[in-house]
A and B are shown apart, each in its own frame.
Chain A
Amino acid sequence: MEFEMKIDYYSGDPGEFIKVIEEKCTGCGQCAKFCTRDVWEADGKIYRPINLKDCVECGACWNICTADAIIFGDPKGGTGVRFTHG
Chain B
Amino acid sequence: MTEDNFFDVIVVGAGCAGPAAAKKTAELGLKTLLIEKSPEPGTKTISGTCINLAGMHNEDLYYILKGPIEREIHSMRTYHINDARTTVFNEIPTKGVLLLSIRRDIFDAWHTEQAKLAGAEVKLSTTVTDIIEENDYVCGVITDSGEEFRCKVLIDAAGVNSIVGRNAGLIPKRSGDNMILYVTVAVELGEEVINDRFSDEQGGYCIEYYLAPGIQYKTWPWIFPKKDTVTLGTGGYMTKDLFNDKITNVNQYMQNFLNLPIVKRKLEGGKIVSWGLHLEYDEKISQKVKNGLILTGEAGGFVIPFLGEGMSPAFATGIFAAKTAAEAIQKNNFSKESMSSMYEDMIEEDLFLQGFMHVGKINKESILKKSEEEISNMMQSVVLGGGFITNAVHTKWLEGAENGDIEKVQEALDFLEFIQPYRQIGSEFEEIYRKLRAEGGS
Contact = CB atoms under 8 A, between A and B. Distances in A.
Interface in A49-86: 56-60, 62-66, 68, 72-78, 80-86
Nearest to B161: A59
B129 interface: yes
B71 to A, nearest CB: 14
B275 interface: yes
Interface string B227-259: 001010000001000110000111100110010
Contacts of A3: 185, 251, 254-255, 258, 272
Interface in B147-204: 160-161, 163, 173-175, 179, 181, 183, 185-187
Contacts of A86: 42-47, 49, 103-105, 276
Interface stretch (B120-128, B347-355, B401-409): B120-128
A6 B181 contact: no
A74 B258 CA distance: 32
B335 interface: no
Provide the main secondary structure of the chain A interface: loop
Contact of B226 (A4, A81, A82, A85): A85
A38 to B, nearest CB: 9
| Interface-central residue, A7, A8, A34, by most chain B CB under 10 Å | A34
B279 interface: yes
A59 B160 contact: yes
B338 interface: no
Given A73-B129, A86-B103, A86-B276, A1 B45 contact: no
Interface residues of A, number: 38
Given A7-B275, A74-B37, A78-B124, A85 B186 contact: yes
Nearest to B45: A86
B251 A36 contact: yes
Nearest to B267: A1
B44 A6 contact: no
Contacts of A37: 277
B238 A84 contact: no
A73 B161 CA distance: 9
Contact of A77 (B40, B49, B125, B173): B125
Nearest to A76: B144
B424 interface: no
B272 A60 contact: no
Contacts of A56: 276-277
Interface of B: 37-40, 42-47, 49, 103-105, 124-129, 143-145, 160-161, 163, 173-175, 179, 181, 183, 185-187, 226, 229, 231, 238, 242-243, 248-251, 254-255, 258, 264, 267, 270-279
Given A4-B272, A80-B44, A82-B40, 16 more contacts: A1-B187, A3-B258, A4-B185, A6-B275, A34-B181, A58-B161, A62-B173, A63-B279, A77-B37, A78-B38, A80-B37, A84-B273, A85-B105, A86-B44, A86-B45, A86-B49
- Per CB-CB distance, the 5 closest pairs between chain A and chain B, nearest first, are A78-B125, A85-B186, A86-B104, A59-B161, A77-B125
Interface of A: 1, 3-8, 10, 15, 33-34, 36-37, 56-60, 62-66, 68, 72-78, 80-86
